[in-house]
Amino acid sequence: MRHKTGAYGIAAAFLVVAMLISALVGAADLNPWATAAALLHVPSSLDPLDRAVLFQIRLPRIVLGALVGGLLSVAGAGYQGVFRNPLVDSGMLGASAGAGLGATIAIVYMGGLGVSAVPVAAFAGSLAGVAVAYVAGAAGRTAGTGIATLLLAGLAVNLFLTAVQTYFQQRSASDIQQVYVWLLGSLSGATWQQVVEILPYSAVSMAIVLLHGRHLDVLSVGDEEARSLGLRPDRTRLIVVAACALAAASAVAVSGLIGFVGIVVPHIVRRLAGTSYRHVLPLSLIAGAGFLVLADTLARTILSPAELPIGVVTALIGCPVFVWILRTTRAVRT
């Protein structure tokens, strides 16, 4: 128990430090003490311009980044529990490809509706991609091939949707740059309105996934054993997949596609707190929030005043960490 408490403390401290660093670092040089006082709602020497930078530009981006990071991490951990495979994330079940296709269609054909059409289309596309993959996989499972069929169906749907997206991109070369900017992920346009818009979906999806932590632990021993313990594996799997799809769709709708968060963060969490999903899920939520806030801080400061796509930063961090995890895991097993 002490080990688990320490893991929660580390994750919470990491999130707080990441948010404080993000609030203080940027093109505008804010006084650290005055900024801290303003955040604590005590008298502060921040002038009106600096206060506007803090509360209308940086804080919405920090909160939105924390939400997106938490959603992607908990969705990745949930998918890994469902498929009993630590290498699975939302990108392998059609969520990311569906969002990319929806956003591409909105950019190419719905430009007249304004930028608000893109997140709506991405959200709908993400949910549709997972739904198609799940229906296709469920049909194949009647042959008794198990959850591997569902994962293969997700990969097939992912490839198909990506091909369709490429087709639409090539039909409108003038929009390719805008499409790629979205596909690489960004929080540069974060507003409090976006936070409010995704908050209900975030709360519902995260609550459902977190409440199924014990069920995922039972699923990890196999479907037959789970049934003997009174669990209905197919029903549980459907609920968790739907909740994870909603979480991933909510995230990509406001941030674009951001990779590696849903794989790397749960892996690190397992090293801190063990493999029980009762702890992996909430810790992934907290650590994922801190990870993406820190990654976004790097994205907007490394090339300041220019800005890197956040997906590039998460890939640059995530790839080496993922390779290290694979190597150390294999070393432990051998």
Domains present along the chain, CATH in parentheses: 2-333 (1.10.3470.10)
Question: For residue 286, what pLDDT band results from cuts at 50, 70 and 90?
Answer: very high
The pTM (predicted TM-score) of the whole model is 0.88
Structure tokens at 126: 């993400």
CA-based nearest residue to 95, from 42, 134, 63: 134
Structure tokens at 21: 């660093």
pLDDT tens string 180-202: 777 888 888 889 998 998 999 99
pLDDT tens string 302-316: 887 778 889 899 988
